[in-house]
Amino acid sequence: MSYDVKECAKRINPWIIKTPLVENENLSEISGIKVYLKLESMQRTGAFKFRGAMNYMLKLDKEAASKGVITASSGNHGLGMSLSGKLNGISCTVVMPVNAPLSKQNRAKEYGAEVILNGSCYDDAQEHAKELSLKNNLTYVPSFNHPDIIEGQGTILAEILEEVPNVDMIVVPVGGGGMLAGLLIAKDQLKSDVKIVGVEPVGAAGMKTSLENSSLYTVDKMDTIADGVAVRTPGEENFRIAKKYNPEILTVDDKQIIEIQKSLFTKSKVIVETAGAVSVAGAIFNELPKDVKTVVCVISGANLDLVQLKEYI
């Protein structure tokens, strides 16, 4: 499969926000190194997923677009597809798990999408979306396992390198693996030597286990509060890319995720969803190599119910 992250960046540039990249003094003090946050939580739709979704929609041929699209999502990809569909005049249906945050369900509807709730996790919603695509002759759009989606997420890297060219490590949350794969492709194409590291919850460590076993692994029973990265099986294409470049994958538990979520909110006034806190938790609660002096953690999204945030805190 071919990728061109530079051309992708040009294609989606008129539509996306170049999100802020700021040093977090509190995290830098705690860790003893410079810690920057790439606030994709301030991207359109409140998450990085809009990049890949818009790239997919802009490259979609007219016949497929005329049918309308359907996708499965724990929330953020669905929001990206919903807004992208609205901006491109393409009807969009999103299947979400029944426990998807109300904020994500409601925003998708506000963007004009039809929202269908099915299943207890992303994988259940995915199967239902595939069934509906065949039944209703809709174009099925993967949430992360597609070159156009991966390519779009990879555009984050150039923005980071432009502002912090001396960054030693970039840490990203991993669910299906779209952002991780995108940054690994972009690193290669931009000829950068920055270290790309992924982070998964211990209760949904599908990519880490897949890499350790050298074959695609499905988590039997997921157990994590981070719904945005609660994916039982990583994308096949994402795994192929990860296997090629073999990045380090760290893990964190739910207590660590919530502690970081609370800290970001109370000390830095940064609102993140649980999945958005995963990258920071990975950088703070794992021992990093001694030669790492500057880290950028990608905050993937901020779409959470405020009642839920209050309960966690």
Annotated catalytic residue: which of 73, 84, 143, 300? Answer: 300
pLDDT at res. 99: 86
DSSP 128-159: HHHHHHHHTT-EEE-SS-SHHHHHHHHTHHHH
pLDDT at res. 123: 87
Instruction: Report residues of the chain scoring pLDDT below 70.
Output: 312-313
- The question of whether 300 is a catalytic residue gets the answer yes
Annotated catalytic residue: which of 34, 38, 49, 187? Answer: 49
Q: What are phi and psi of 252, to 5 degrees?
A: -140, 155
Closest to 102 (Cα-Cα) out of 79, 130, 132:
79
- The question of whether 66 is a catalytic residue gets the answer no
Contact by Cβ (8 Å): 129, 115: no
Going along the chain from its start, the domains and CATH numbers come out as: 5-47+148-312 (3.40.50.1100), 49-144 (3.40.50.1100)
Closest to 120 (Cα-Cα) out of 49, 216, 222:
222
Question: Which residues lie below 8 Å from residue 268, measured CB to CB, with a gap of 6+?
Answer: 24, 26, 27
pLDDT at res. 100: 86
Cα 18 from Cα 42, distance rounded (Å): 9
CB atoms inside a 10 Å sphere around CB 307: 10
Contact by Cβ (8 Å): 247, 222: no
Question: Which residues lie below 8 Å from residue 166, measured CB to CB, with a gap of 6+?
Answer: 294
CB atoms inside a 10 Å sphere around CB 290: 7
Question: Which residues lie below 8 Å from residue 31, measured CB to CB, with a gap of 6+?
Answer: 283, 284, 295
pLDDT at res. 308: 74
Mean pLDDT of the chain: 95
| DSSP H helical ranges for the chain | 5-12, 25-31, 49-59, 62-67, 76-88, 102-110, 122-135, 147-154, 156-163, 178-189, 206-213, 236-245, 254-268, 274-285, 306-312
